[in-house]
Amino acid sequence: MKILLINGPNLNLLGIREKSIYGNESFENYFQTLRNEYPDIEMEYFQSNIEGELINKIHERGFTFDGIIINAGAYTHTSVAIRDAISGVKAPVVEVHISNILTRENFRHESLIGPVCVGSIMGFGLDSYRLGIEAIKKTH
């Protein structure tokens, strides 16, 4: 099984920015934890602050990987283009968020990508990604 984990803008600052919301651990460290927990799954991690790069990666892996887990960051609420990219690939996509976006500012309450994903997981900290992996495993 092959799973792509994608993080959008500002998530390269995990462990540094707004620790009360996003925690103290870098995603690179957490990704190694996931690899250790799921040695039978081939995982790839990609992060970009650039919308087009996220779209390109979805296109690149969305026809050959078994699933995509995406935390589109702020693009969750604004990007029709990422939504269309998700709709255009065959891999099931799970939307994840570290925080519960429904308890944050009103503009974060709507996800443009959620309706084209097989599911959404939010509010469980970095563990949201592990739950996303479990969801992808159940789609196969």
Annotated binding site: 71, 77, 84, 98-99, 108
Active site residue 22: yes
CA-CA distance, 87 to 93, in Å (whole number)? 9
Query: Dihedral of CA 89/61/96/136: which sign?
Result: positive
Helix (H, G, I), strand (E, B), or coil: what is residue 30?
Answer: helix
Annotated binding site for substrate: 71, 77, 84, 98-99, 108
Residue type, 38: Y
Long-range CB contacts for residues 31-34, cutoff 8 Å, separation at least 24: 31/5, 34/5, 34/129, 34/130, 34/133
Closest CA to 70 of 90, 48, 38: 48
Pick the catalytic residue from 30, 45, 97, 129: 97
CA-CA distance, 55 to 57, in Å (whole number)? 5
Q: Please give the positions annotated as active site.
A: 22, 97
